[in-house]
Structure 1
Amino acid sequence: MERLIETPLLKFNPNTLEEVRKELNLHQAGVLDQMIANFEEWISKQNHFTRKQFGRHYLETSIVLGKGSLERAKKTLDKLCTLKTLLPQFFTKHDAKNELVDSTSFAIQATMPRLTKDNYRVYCVKLASSNFDSTMLFDFHRFAILMSEYVKSNDYSHGFVCVLDCRDVNIVNVVTKINVLDLRNSMSVLMEGYGMRVKGIHIISSSKMIDTFVSLLKQVISAKIANRINVHATVEALHEHVPKDILPQEYGGNEKPLREVHENWLNVLSQKENVAFFREICKAGTNEKFRLTANYNDQILGMPGSFRTLTVD
């Protein structure tokens, strides 16, 4: 019987595979095999792709995060490959431990190991200080992208519930130091490129200035996701929306402290085989002169710094 392979970073519920497939109408015999075969055939015909080989799990998670739609999965993969060419600055570092600046003095981030009962993954960020520079912030984005590549190849879920702890920082100082364009591009890579479905964003803060931060977030995400932002004054209020048993210890949960979970991610992402994989998969871009103009995605044309003015032979 087919089963999911757990990793040191990602655990699953006993029936995750069956439940996710059933909810997306992918559970009938042969359905996924045919979709993946069609996906692979489509990829082989994309002359502008610089890479044609993607693992089966990579393609299946693309379909799952596309709510079971092969067409949506195709568009997402095309978008991701295009963004790797369009925004190369996010994909140039592959060794989290040896190439990225340690940004944990500014913010600690980690995807939690256990799923919610409805098979969503919890991603936590704790803002620790408003004392950070542009390099630290950019490598924070890069770390999130390396996590996303790992998730794409190893996870199986409906998407993410995001928890953002802002209790220990001056919100105004943080907002004034964030590069909005970099944040917008990073969110585009994560949500549009990797197809990360976000069930909800839960911000913990009692600051009267939290609306300033929420307004900033709404500038860089879709209106649909913006409507899923919730602000909680206390951790106890968060527990009404996110199961506390799968949260880090400092949030009343049963998991390891967030910094320790982050360290686990740092160590695994920096393993030789994972660094080698990141180096290769980040080359999966596009050569725009080979793209068929009839298939040009208008969403890509709207990206900042896009190929809008590029002449395609």
Structure 2
Amino acid sequence: MTLNLIDIKSEYAKDKDLKQGDVELFMTWVNKQPHLPKINELQAILFLQSCYYSNEAAKTALDTYFTVKALCPEMFGNRNPLTGPMKETIHVSVMTPLPKETPDGSTIFFVKLTDTTPDKYIFVDQCRYFDMISMLHLYQKGTSKGHLIVFDMKGISFPHLAKLGPITMKKLLFYLQDALPVRLKGLHFVNIVPFMDKVLALMRPFMKKELMDVLFLHTTVDELFKYVPQDCLPQEYGGSVEAVPILHEKIKGDLRNNTALFEWEETQKVDESKRPGKPKNIGDIFGVEGTFKKLEID
């Protein structure tokens, strides 16, 4: 199986703090764990760099990453963009890393609905979509000094809120904060909706202080420019990056052209029967799902 991955040499060249000896030591530990899948050098680099080169933090993050992916197949399985739920999901929104980094070297993940029909919005499928484009970018472009998520809420209506759910939201935010190998520097909501308080009421119970500290709400796009240079954004926002429809077509093409990578990803899961000590289950990670109450919408 041929995977289109970034050249490892470029990762060492761009980051003087990344030491090959540390990467080899980390890989050796991971590949000796009976319950974990074998990893390659790029994966080791991604987790070490995202954890600021802390070997112990990287071990925890990587174990969490593969554990969550195994225990949440409804969110991380069925990753083929040509079939199943992803075939339609990629048309509902554009989720894409923007080609221009911020001056401090951070990557911008841009998110916006392109089909605002509430019935077509399936939250768990959108979570899968976000993970797929995030991991594809990391595998093909490598590490970044930071990552920003910019979510333009224009077109989101109250019926979309009813499509969200506390269980899926908890899983997404846990994964984003504890497993995804990125340095998250900002979560920006733009063109916020009148019912943003209800969205936040759903999110806040599952957010750590570190994420709350980098959560920003912007009534207008102009407010975003205080944090994200306008020039780094698509043309519709006055930036120099290609227009949103063009970006959308490109990311859909990238997903379709990398089905082999997503098939390989699905083989990389923990084997709880081989975990030293007590095997983990979904309750160990997320608590008892039955204790969640349905979101109240006034």
Answer yes or no: same fold by TM over 0.5.
Answer: yes
Equivalent residue letter for 2:284: L
- Measured at CA, do residues 91 and 299 of structure 1 come closer, stay the same or move farther in structure 2, by a change above 3 Å? closer
Q: 1:305 & 1:216 partners in 2: Cα distance?
A: 17
- Equivalent residues in 2 for 1:161-200, closer than 5 Å: 161-170=148-157, 172-200=158-186
Q: 1:213 & 1:229 partners in 2: Cα distance?
A: 13
- Equivalent residues in 2 for 1:182-261, closer than 5 Å: 182-205=168-191, 207-261=193-247
Contact kept? 2:94, 2:111, Cα under 8 Å: yes
Q: In structure 2, the residue corresponding to 1:177 is in which secondary structure?
A: coil
What does residue 95 of structure 1 align with?
80
Q: 1:163 & 1:101 partners in 2: Cα distance?
A: 24
- Equivalent residues in 2 for 1:291-306, closer than 5 Å: 291-293=275-277, 301-304=284-287
Q: 1:284 aligns with which of 268, 278, 285?
A: 268
Q: 2:146 aligns with which of 159, 164, 170?
A: 159
Which structure 1 residue ranges, 5 or more long, are not aligned? 7-14, 27-31, 307-313
TM-score by length of 2: 0.83
Offset at 1:130?
Answer: 5.4
Q: In structure 1, the residue corresponding to 2:216 is in which secondary structure?
A: strand
Contact kept? 1:16, 1:157, Cα under 8 Å: no
- Measured at CA, do residues 283 and 105 of structure 1 come closer, stay the same or move farther in structure 2, by a change above 3 Å? closer
Contact kept? 1:86, 1:305, Cα under 8 Å: no
TM-score by length of 1: 0.79
What does residue 296 of structure 2 align with?
none
What does residue 9 of structure 1 align with?
none
What does residue 55 of structure 1 align with?
40
What does residue 23 of structure 2 align with?
36
Equivalent residue letter for 2:237: Y
Q: 1:174 & 1:135 partners in 2: Cα distance?
A: 7
Q: 1:211 & 1:95 partners in 2: Cα distance?
A: 35
Offset at 1:291?
Answer: 1.2
Equivalent residue letter for 1:175: L
Equivalent residue letter for 1:303: F
Offset at 1:209?
Answer: 2.6
Equivalent residue letter for 2:228: V
Which structure is higher in helix share?
2
Contact kept? 1:126, 1:164, Cα under 8 Å: yes
- Provide the identity percentage: 23
Aligned positions, number: 281
Q: 2:250 & 2:173 partners in 1: Cα distance?
A: 24
Offset at 1:123?
Answer: 0.9
Q: 1:48 & 1:105 partners in 2: Cα distance?
A: 36
- Note the alpha carbon deviations across 1:81-113, whole angstroms, 9 max, x for none: 111211122232232243314236643221112
What does residue 10 of structure 1 align with?
none
What does residue 293 of structure 2 align with?
none
Q: 2:255 aligns with which of 266, 269, 276?
A: 269
Contact kept? 1:76, 1:193, Cα under 8 Å: yes
Q: 2:75 & 2:182 partners in 1: Cα distance?
A: 17
Q: In structure 2, the residue corresponding to 1:121 is in which secondary structure?
A: strand
Q: 2:183 & 2:189 partners in 1: Cα distance?
A: 17
- Equivalent residues in 2 for 1:11-30, closer than 5 Å: 21-22=15-16, 25-26=17-18
- Measured at CA, do residues 269 and 305 of structure 1 come closer, stay the same or move farther in structure 2, by a change above 3 Å? farther
